[in-house]
């Protein structure tokens, strides 16, 4: 359940990009990895804690997201869907192997004392790092949802998603709005990575593990549906933990991906997505 909140934060960024631009960002997991390494470097060089490296990861990844949009995605979007898939997949490989080159494949961790301790909640013992990660992820996911549905920026994003040229005629700069969406999406992944770094190992390919669960959450919630991603993330977390608890940890991931296949088979539009017929 606690991990599910982090999955929801990762999924919100993924589904935001799909909902606005119909671009499936295969490099989203590498943004999570970059957030983890940002936390690791901030701690290694400046001995800072989560109060510093989590906002730092958000800022760094926000800038990276904007750079990726202007340097790659803006031009690729004019091409066929296949070009978009290859571009984001190429970005995934570029970031991953750059991290391998810089940091080597060795695993790294932050000190367990950074957010040590265990909370006792209604008979359950919950580690503080996971509890704090879940609370921060829930707060940020709700903040992104509020931004999208209650602010002028959210309205501009919706207008660009509906009709880019019509939005331009209304005085909205589509490139600025879409770059902002990429910045927010990458920042969500970066914060999720920094939160995960407080209790999970760090390696150049670790983000791929989490983004697979994020893809399942996006599929379950409905592609392009932010509320769907917010709902599906905790469901994935519950399925994963309950399966591991009642059967064997080896079956936890099998159960999640079985759910993924069943959703695609029985309800491909997801829980809160629109069907092909628009109903």
- Residue range 102-124, pLDDT digits in tens: 999 999 999 877 777 787 777 77
pLDDT, tens digit, 9 for 90 and up, residues 137-182: 999 999 998 998 899 999 999 899 888 888 888 889 999 999 999 9
pLDDT, tens digit, 9 for 90 and up, residues 223-242: 778 888 888 888 888 888 88
Q: What is the pTM of this model?
A: 0.90
CA distance 267 to 276: 11
Predicted local distance difference test score (pLDDT) of residue 192: 94
pLDDT tops 50 at residue 278: no
CA 60 to chain centre: 15
pLDDT, tens digit, 9 for 90 and up, residues 175-233: 999 999 999 999 999 999 999 999 999 999 998 888 888 888 888 888 778 888 888 88
* Among the listed residues 211, 213, 231, the one whose alpha carbon sits nearest the alpha carbon of residue 221: 231
Average pLDDT for 24-51: 93
Predicted local distance difference test score (pLDDT) of residue 277: 43
pLDDT, tens digit, 9 for 90 and up, residues 48-69: 889 999 999 999 999 999 999 9
CA distance 255 to 252: 5
CA distance 165 to 177: 13
Predicted local distance difference test score (pLDDT) of residue 85: 87
CA distance 195 to 35: 9
DSSP 108: B
pLDDT tops 90 at residue 245: no
Predicted local distance difference test score (pLDDT) of residue 266: 86
Predicted local distance difference test score (pLDDT) of residue 201: 92
Predicted local distance difference test score (pLDDT) of residue 271: 79
Predicted local distance difference test score (pLDDT) of residue 84: 85
Burial of 102 from C-beta contacts in 10 A (0-12 / 13-18 / 19+): exposed
pLDDT tops 70 at residue 1: no
Predicted local distance difference test score (pLDDT) of residue 274: 60
CA distance 41 to 102: 12
For 273, the 3-state DSSP assignment is coil
CA distances from 179 to 28, 91, 126, 144, 209 (A): 15, 17, 38, 15, 26
Please report which helix (H) or strand (E) contains residue 114, including its range: none
């Amino acid at each position: 359940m606690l991990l599910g909140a982090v999955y929801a934060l990762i999924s919100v960024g993924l589904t935001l990009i799909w909902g606005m631009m119909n671009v499936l960002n295969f490099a989203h997991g590498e943004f999570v990895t970059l957030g983890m390494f940002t936390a690791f470097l901030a701690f290694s060089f400046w001995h800072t804690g989560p109060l510093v490296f989590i906002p730092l990861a958000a800022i760094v990844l926000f800038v990276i997201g904007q750079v990726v949009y202007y340097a790659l995605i803006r031009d690729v979007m004019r091409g066929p869907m296949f070009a978009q898939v290859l571009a984001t997949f190429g970005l995934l490989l570029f970031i991953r192997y750059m991290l391998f080159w810089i940091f080597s494949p060795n695993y790294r961790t932050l000190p367990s004392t950074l957010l040590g301790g265990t909370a006792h909640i209604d008979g359950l013992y919950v580690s503080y790092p996971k509890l704090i990660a879940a609370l921060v992820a829930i707060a940020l996911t709700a903040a992104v949802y509020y931004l999208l549905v209650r602010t002028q920026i959210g309205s501009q994003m919706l207008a660009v998603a509906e009709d880019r040229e019509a939005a331009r005629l209304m005085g909205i700069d589509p490139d600025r709005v879409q770059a902002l969406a990429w910045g927010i999406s990458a920042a969500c992944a970066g914060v999720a990575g920094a939160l995960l770094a407080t209790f999970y190992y760090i390696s150049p390919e670790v983000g791929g593990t989490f983004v697979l669960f994020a893809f399942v959450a996006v599929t379950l919630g409905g592609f392009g549906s932010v509320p769907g991603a917010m709902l599906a993330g905790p469901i994935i977390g519950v399925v994963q933990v309950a399966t591991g608890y009642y059967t064997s940890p080896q079956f936890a991931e099998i159960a999640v991906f079985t759910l993924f296949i069943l959703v695609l088979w029985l309800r491909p539009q997801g829980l809160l997505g629109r069907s092909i017929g628009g109903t």
